[in-house]
Amino acid sequence: MTAPSASPPPLCSPQLGRPSAAPAEPGERRRLLAGEHHDPHAVLGAHAVPGGVALRVLRPGALSVTVLLDSLWAELHDDGDGFFSALLPLRNVPEYRLLVAYEDSVLETDDPYRFLPALGELDLHLIGEGRHEQLWRALGAHPMTHAGADGTRFTVWAPNARGVRVCGDFCHWDGTAHPMRSLGSTGVWELFVPGIDPGTLYKFDITRPDGTHTVRADPMARRTEVPPATASVVTASESGYVWHDEEWLAHRGDVPVHEAPFSVYEVHLPSWRVGLTYRQLAEQLPGYVKDLGFTHVELMPVAEHPFGGSWGYQVTGFYAPTARLGTPDDFKYLVDALHQAGVGVLMDWVPAHFPRDEWALAEFDGRPLYEPADPLRAAHPDWGTLEFDYGRREVRNFLVANAVYWCEEFHIDGLRVDAVASMLYLDYSREYGQWRPNEHGGNENPDAVAFLQEMNATVYRRCPGAITIAEESTAWDGVTRPTDHGGLGFGLKWNMGWMHDSLVYASKDPVHRRYHHNEMTFSMVYAYSENYVLPISHDEVVHGKRSLVSKMPGDWWQQRANHRAYLGFMWSHPGKQLLFMGQEFAQGDEWSQAHGPDWWLLDPGYGAAADHRGVRDLVRDLNALYLRTPALWQCDTRPAGFRWVLCDGADDNVFAFLRFDAAGTPLLAVSNFSPVVRHHYRLDVPDDVPAWDEVLNTDAAPYGGSDVRNTGPVTSGTGPGHGIRLTLPPLATLWLRPVTESPTAGSR
């Protein structure tokens, strides 16, 4: 909308003469004022009628409205209640603009009701089919030039609404003048509003089936206000951001993820360094992660959410990066910086549920829409939220397109899908009588299965090199099996069983660990049933669970030694690794989203800084050696890549196994989870390896250990079956490689 540069023209054109009024019918006026009209364009705007062209305008609060026709003009009749009309003595509907006079301003603008729909038939067809894989390009707010006018197209899916109006800061949040039209049976409402630029705040004023009104944020908004404000923000359809990660994207999928090194640093963005924006994080986070040798970061939270304490797991803006840290382009800058540093970017994605906030998705148009109509299926019992209706094609499309959106628009390399188990089971966290079986009488949710299969298949087809990871805590069969073989189609799955069992073992005093030995070995019973990630995530270091080092028994030296030995065991165990921030330097306190990691523990002025720096140095060396040792990742999903050397050393708290790369080259990993040194400890190793070099020792002095070492090559005894004899440091993990390989700088 623009204000004229000169005084308003005369109120009547001598060429047109004095136009007579052509008011709207009373019923039409009532429906428009109530926000209940499904086709306002049939009433408002210019229409050929007997005797000329009827022009009707709805502008509440206006003192006058004048129609401008090239050099001609005519004042419209004030019909009351904000309606203005005229019957113009013209044969055809002309091009025209409006001059609207208010008490303190005069605005010249195009009439929104002179335009045909700005959304194409193909878009509507795909939306109706639930197959619009770039849904964000069709729905939402899109600045554009339409029929020669600059403005914004607003579209929203609200099939149960009696009417929808768009409102915002451009109209003092009164949507009366901007009713939208319904585009047939798709349930989509549309309005092109001239003069609306990027940065404008807006919402949708929806008339429910019962006639009441609700004002909602745009489900497809690609930018939002900073919480606790809740308005959506008009964003340019095509970002001006210029990417510099072509090399990364071209090669990220060269090796399948289950055959590649994959070591993940999990980051809560608002608290990693409290107060930093996306762009400030881009100056610090990539270098830190690269220095420690992690191949990927996993970011939380990304999508917009109203309550920071939810860590992003109660999403209201599924298509909007959280505005707390900057704009969508700022988030792209962070992803780009990580890629240029050679670090992949995963994000937590939450399609399992959404909060009940009255301005968001819950009963969006007055009836259950995104959630199932059955309240027993809709309510999520654990978090007080609502589950999605995965059986409704438009809802499924909303979520599948959202997964594609993050990968295509923000170059995200992978989605860690939260709470998959709660989606798969109808009786998840529900007691008898609180759930309804499926049509076959079972507890599986077939709609959720179909959604997850469609999502995975679509992401892998459209986004080469991207991966999906399931946080799935049950024994559901085929989570990482391809969809064409009946699986869910994920690339990787979090191994929650390994995480739980191994932490139970590690938390026990060494004198009691012999009774829990199977907690550390049981994971190998099912290790090849799925493609696994071993997660020590944020969930394990909050809410009274204590930080990783604080879970360990003993005094401070023993806690750190246990911590280091555990990490060595974890990095050598089949499966990929994930470690939450702060655990890489043995932070003692639980994580708090209010203040983040205790970086001061690494300050040289702090007396115990060397203890924490030593653990971080170990993580750096674990990653460096891991990356250079294909035996630790190349055959992660093949039984031939693993062999127990000692799985029954319960009395000694000792575990030993071999890892093999595709060529058969081994790495020997030995963990001693007792606090005593074990001299001349015999292990049966392959006869064809005459000698081994210790390449990593978590008890090394630079890491804060007692520096009990195996110096020089460790040789096998004479004759077959004699094995080797090692010195096992207390509470430590060793890695050894055949001496035929070149020495590595990974050991200290």
Neighbours of 267 (CB within 10 A): 24
Please tell me which residue in 245, 304, 471, 617 is annotated as part of the active site.
471
DSSP-based three-state secondary structure for 184: helix
Kindly report the CA angle at 716 between 710 and 722, in degrees rounded to 5? 125
Q: Token pair of 623, please? A: 């990653």
DSSP-based three-state secondary structure for 334: helix
Nearest to 409 by CA among 452, 450, 466, 457: 466
- Please, where are the H alpha helices in 341-445? 375-378, 393-409, 420-424
**381 close to 304: Cβ distance less than 8 angstroms:** no
User: What beta strand segments (E) does 600-702 contain?
Assistant: 642-649, 654-660, 666-672, 678-683, 691-697
DSSP-based three-state secondary structure for 147: coil
Query: 3-state SS string over 270-285?
Result: HHHCCCCCHHHHHHHH
CA gap 733, 656 in Å, rounded: 9
471 is catalytic: yes
Cβ partners under 8 Å of residue 533, min gap 6: 262, 264, 469, 492, 493, 494, 495, 575, 576, 577, 578
- Please, where are the H alpha helices in 416-555? 420-424, 446-462, 496-507, 518-521, 523-526, 548-551
**469 close to 416: Cβ distance less than 8 angstroms:** yes
Nearest to 195 by CA among 156, 168, 226: 168
Nearest to 670 by CA among 695, 701, 689, 640: 695
DSSP-based three-state secondary structure for 86: strand
Cβ partners under 8 Å of residue 500, min gap 6: none
CA gap 50, 348 in Å, rounded: 61
Q: Token pair of 523, please? A: 């994971």
CA gap 521, 573 in Å, rounded: 10
Q: Token pair of 489, please? A: 């189609």
Measured CA to CA in angstroms, residue 457 lies from 223, 252, 404, 452, 474 at distances of 27, 18, 11, 8, 22
Q: Token pair of 706, please? A: 């007692």
CA gap 463, 298 in Å, rounded: 18
Please tell me which residue in 79, 133, 389, 418 is annotated as part of the active site.
418
418 is catalytic: yes
Residues identified as active-site: 418, 471
